[in-house]
Structure 1
Amino acid sequence: MSSKRREQHEEHMDETWLIPYADLLTLLLALFIVLFASSTIDAQKFNSLKESLNAAFHSGTGIMESQSVTDQLIEKTQVQTETLVDLQRLKKQMDQYIHENNLSSELKTSIIKDSLIITIRDHALFDSGSAAVKPQARKIILSMADILIRYPQYEVLVAGHTDNQPIHTKEFESNWDLSSERALNCMKILLSTSRLDPRRFSAIGYGEYRPIASNETEEGRAKNRRVEVTIKQKIVP
């Protein structure tokens, strides 16, 4: 082969192998993201991430588009991880307050999905059939407010729950009314702390319709009578 023909051959060398090689690197990066995500977030977030990856790599997008999706997944995973760390830190602070004030029979905390839920038994807050917060219970709610000030990026939902025992009084026609008024009164005490943004807060009454225990026993009914404060990541428009 002449020198001239050899040079032309080298100039037109097939470089299509670079495309699958780059795709392989992208897939390896995605694998590391999945491994990282599965070690730091719960199963539901992992499944969500897996579905996003499947959509990205089976949609016919090119390398640049796949890289963009991968970057978005990395950012999403980082946010989810930071949220979980924040909620765990907040839970630890609340648990410490509960322990120091011997309130373990009245309050408990749990992290479910991407939310921290603080459950308060109704007898710690109200007299039977009343929505007026006990004077000594205000301290509990205000202590929660002091902690929430440190987490301005989260939304707070205050929900009232009752058992299934009918109520019909001059003040409350139904358990809907009682649970709603209880939630609203608790939220008002939280917002009496002026450093909290009211736009982050909402209150709702579920009445008897979201029990966590059987209403067939007094013990179960006592568990169902509660106020739940749910703290979740703020949705930015």
Structure 2
Amino acid sequence: MAKRKQQPPDEGSPAWMSTFSDLMNLLLCFFILLFASSTMDEGKIQKIAASFDNLSFSVISEGSVSLLTGEMLSGGMTQLADTDSVLSEAGKNIDGNTGDKSSSASPTDAEHLSDNDLQAEVERRGEQQSEEMYEEVMQMAETYAIDDQIILDFNDQYVELDLNGSILFDSGNAEIKDNSKLFLQKIAQILVKYKYNVIEIEGHTDNIPISNSKYEDNRSLSSERARSVYEYVVSQEHFIDSNIKIAGYGDSRPVASNETEEGRAKNRRVAIKIYNKQNSNN
């Protein structure tokens, strides 16, 4: 049986390609019409652009000014103790209340605060830190049963522990009494919790002139008393010596009237100031 002769293929493209090409043209026209009929919201575009213009990332325009006494860095950046965290917290009310959104400033607004407002915020944060330390120190003093032997106070810079001089020293002397050493050991156990903070030990006296050959005046006596407390405290616990300061003020900073014996007794004291983290970094 003879083989069937193969038919030659039709010339040109297959028929299905014409249909496919028409479909692609229709789709292209459809998307062109969709794009042409859409409109750009110019208002939204301007708002988005403005929001990028207002972002600061702690960079001050042209590096020409600095906040408070912050150190000027390259590129217009400033470094001020705790300023970054102050600005980040400024979404809360400047008076310290969290409030609702209508009564609080945004972080961008905070960077345009006046120096006075920013300083007020720094002080508020410092007082908050000091108050937290005050509560901690008070709790430890109660635990060690010495809360009735110290006077505690605080401000936006530090917590102050006032130790009665008569507990620590004999009259006109700067040597720590033996029966007060246990008391100072407990004080050292409290202070070491804040060894990374600046700690200042101050000696104070009343205004009665000293009359012995060992100390020439009240200031020298107060300085030696502060040194004695310092030396005993650091012998009990491990401190960072560069964080501890000592000073003697004699009778120049009384806390009560020197006209009465009761007032003079209050003035004969050793004050220990534990600076909060914000002021320890200055």
TM-score (norm 2): 0.59
Gaps of 5+ in 1: 41-49, 60-73
Secondary structure of 1:145's match?
A: helix
Q: Give 2:177's aligned residue.
A: 134
Deviation, 1:157, is: 0.7
The counterpart of 2:208, out of the listed 165, 170, 186, is 165
The counterpart of 2:143, out of the listed 96, 99, 109, is 96
After alignment, is 8-17 or 201-210 more displaced? 8-17
TM-score (norm 1): 0.69
Deviation, 1:195, is: 1.8
CA contact (8 A) 2:125 2:156 kept: no
The percent identity for this pair of structures is 27
Secondary structure of 2:201's match?
A: strand
Residues 1:57 and 2:112 are matched in the alignment? yes
Question: Once superposed, what is the RMSD of the aligned Cα atoms?
Answer: 4.1
Name the aligned partner's letter for residue 17 of structure 1: K
Deviation, 1:90, is: 2.4
The counterpart of 2:42, out of the listed 4, 8, 13, is 13
Residues 1:219 and 2:262 are matched in the alignment? yes
Structure 1 segment 24-35 matched on structure 2, within 5 A:
33-35=91-93
Gaps of 5+ in 2: 1-31, 57-86, 99-104, 115-120
Deviation, 1:85, is: 2.7
Q: Give 1:196's aligned residue.
A: 239
Q: Give 2:84's aligned residue.
A: none
Name the aligned partner's letter for residue 91 of structure 1: M
Structure with bigger gyration radius? 2
CA contact (8 A) 1:30 1:53 kept: no
Aligned equivalents of 1:53, 1:122: Cα separation in 2: 51
Aligned equivalents of 1:179, 1:53: Cα separation in 2: 50
Residues 98-121 of structure 1 show CA distances to partners (whole Å, capped at 9, x for unaligned) of: xx25x62x3221222231111111
